[in-house]
Structure 1
């Protein structure tokens, strides 16, 4: 099963290594989708939605909401934000019955990125 939880936050950034309008300061209402892969536990759940919300809010959303993301990530592209989110969550969401499967970061309703961790690790080898 794939368990899905969506989050939203507003933040500003600028892409310092990009030449175009996005190198100027601007903001987005980001959508973050966190997906866990696993099997239901003895309570019939892959992961408790309340606990997942608390963890993601604490580890990611509270840091990014109404923030200047460049203070956290030097080149805050959707791709780099997704890698950051993955790294913040991968260990803390690991359970005997599930693991982090995928994160999605959407800058707009039509532009986003999906990251699955291990694919990035293969590219880096």
Structure 2
């Protein structure tokens, strides 16, 4: 089974190694989807949604929401943000019955990146 929870956060960034409109300071309302892959446990759940919300809030949203992302990571592209989120969450959501499957970041309503385990160095 795949279990997914979505979040939003607002942040600003600039892409220093990019030539174009996005090299200037600007902001987005990002959408984040965290997907776990697993099977039901003894409570018939892959993962408790409340617990997942707490973990993502503590590990990710407290650092990214209303932040200048260049202070948090180098070259904060959607790709790099998704990789950063993966690294922040992977160990915290791992259970005997499930693990992190993907992290998806939308920079706009129609533009997103999905990171899978094999994409993480």
Alpha-carbon RMSD = 0.7
Q: Which range is displaced more, 72-81 or 110-119? A: 110-119
- 1:36 is paired with a residue of what secondary structure? strand
| Structure 2: runs of 5+ lacking an equivalent | none
Normalising by structure 1, report the TM-score.
0.95
How far 1:56 sits from its partner (Å)? Answer: 0.4
- 1:102 is paired with a residue of what secondary structure? strand
Q: What is aligned with 1:65?
A: 65
The aligned runs of 1:1-125 (5 Å cut-off) are 1-121=1-121
- 1:107 is paired with a residue of what secondary structure? strand
How far 1:120 sits from its partner (Å)? Answer: 3.9
- 1:90 is paired with a residue of what secondary structure? helix
Q: Between Structure 1 and Structure 2, how many residues are aligned? A: 121
Structure 1 stretches of 4+ moved >2 Å: none
Deviation by residue 1:45-103 (Cα, 9 ceiling, x = unmatched): 00000000000010001110000000011100000000000000111110000000000
Q: Provide the C-alpha distance between the structure 2 equivalents of 1:120 and 1:85, rounded to a whole number of angstroms.
A: 11
Q: 1 or 2, which has the higher strand percentage?
A: 2
